[in-house]
Amino acid sequence: MEKSALQIARAAYQPKLPKALRGALKVVEGAPTQSVADQEEVKKLFPNTYGMPAIKFEPTDGQMDTAAINIGVILSGGQAPGGHNVISGLFDGIKKLNPANKLYGFILGPGGLVDHNYKELTADIIDEYRNTGGFDIIGSGRTKLEKKEQFDKGLEIIKKLDIKAIVIIGGDDSSTNACVLAEYYKSIGAGVQVIGCPKTIDGDLKNSEIETSFGFDTATKTYSEVIGNIMRDCNSARKYWHFVKLMGRSASHVTLECALQTHPNITLIGEEVEQKNLSLDDVVTQIAEIVKARSEAGNNFGVALIPEGIIEFIPAIKKLIAELNDVLALPEAQNLGRSEQIDFVKNHLCADNLAVFNSLPTSVARQLALDRDPHGNVQVSLIETEKLLSTMVSAKLDQWKKEGKFNGKFSA
């Protein structure tokens, strides 16, 4: 394949490396680590891996000669810019230690480990993917690692390939996979390290060592460019309100960063909604008030940014989802048809949650009640929150118009 000038320039780019990774290095053990909260509870869950020492890499003189080792790598969850470079850096690092070292990629996520679906990643393969986005070098998946049979099945291929460490690149659920796998392998003395590399464009994996996970910066810049174009179009046509839903199931960091870059008319922040204990009607009323104020100034247009997980931040709906999770986990609910499951749910919800459930549009109620991802989460990305809010705002403004409180136009 003939490469374009852009592809050639992209492949030649050399990412910056910290000083400790530019030459020979030594490993320095620090103090024991601990969770930021619930220390005793977490320690009980992970007795074998809790409290392991912090590790630092420091530059040293001389060469690093190590025995040959094999490493496995897994991409997990949604793709994020930078994933290919994590794998490229891993490949470069182990080859620098010993040219005989090998890197194996497990295909389509954690399921590749369980199903023994893998390929060796060679220099020819790696060089085709350097500095490119996506996760297509080995693909990704969302298989949840939670059963002993899965761990043991994975260990079979790990032993067969003589792998000494598995690197799982993923977000919060994927990091939980890595943690559970590490605990089990440590408990049986499997002799394999499990290393988690934090990846999430949501920006919700951070601590004192990780300022932000990779993917967040590129994602927010890309989204902001699109939002900026929508705002320019909005200001040109001057007759539509645009409701823009952004990534972020359990954190509104992406929405906030995009708002700081683009300055829209309305920005909903899930954490703020939760802190203020707002109801769905409170949120709709706030939006309607801003629409009304802009209309009175002659501006029947605007842009609203909405994090996809906003619905889970509304306390009443959060309580509803928690009870739905419990109800749907009952053995009697497992083999019911979709319509029967809805009836079952309604018969088992408490009065307050049932009232909230019945107040929601049918499509949203069904989504909350039925569909879960492999990790048991409501698939909020499939809920058309932007349509839910724009429809409810429209209804609120129609009501105000009948009451003489609103004389403008609203088209979403």
pLDDT digits (tens, 9 = 90+) for 304-356: 999 998 988 888 888 888 888 888 888 887 787 777 888 888 899 999 999 98
Q: Could you tell me the CA-to-CA distances from 184 to 117, 152, 189, 194, 297 in Å, in that order? A: 21, 9, 9, 10, 63
Q: Evaluate whether 209 touches 271 at the Cβ level (below 8 Å).
A: no
Task: Enter the tokens of residue 353.
Answer: 């949650």
Instruction: Tell me the pTM.
Output: 0.83
pLDDT the model gives residue 267: 98
pLDDT the model gives residue 374: 62
Angle at 79 between CA 224 and CA 303, to 5 degrees: 25
Specify the DSSP element, H or E, that contains 358: helix 351-359
Q: Which residues pair with 267 in a beta bridge?
A: 305
Of the candidates 124, 173, 202, 371, the residue annotated as catalytic is 202
Compute mean pLDDT per 10 residues along the chain, 412 residues long, and list them. Answer: 89 87 89 93 96 92 87 94 94 93 97 98 95 94 92 97 97 90 97 94 84 89 97 96 92 96 97 93 96 97 95 87 84 80 88 88 77 65 85 94 95 96
pLDDT the model gives residue 380: 67
pLDDT the model gives residue 112: 98
Cα 383 from chain centre: 16
In this structure, how many other beta carbons lie within 10 angstroms of the beta carbon of residue 32? 10
pLDDT the model gives residue 338: 76
For the stretch 117-152, what's the b/e string if a residue is b when 16 or more beta carbons lie within 10 angstroms of its beta carbon?
bbeebeeebbeebbbbbebebbbbbbbbbeeeebbe
Show contacts of 370-373: CB within 8 Å, 24+ apart: 370/338, 370/341, 370/342, 372/328, 373/142
pLDDT, one tens digit per residue, over 236-277 is: 999 999 999 998 888 999 999 999 999 999 999 999 999 999
pLDDT the model gives residue 360: 82
pLDDT the model gives residue 265: 98
Residue 202 is a catalytic residue: yes
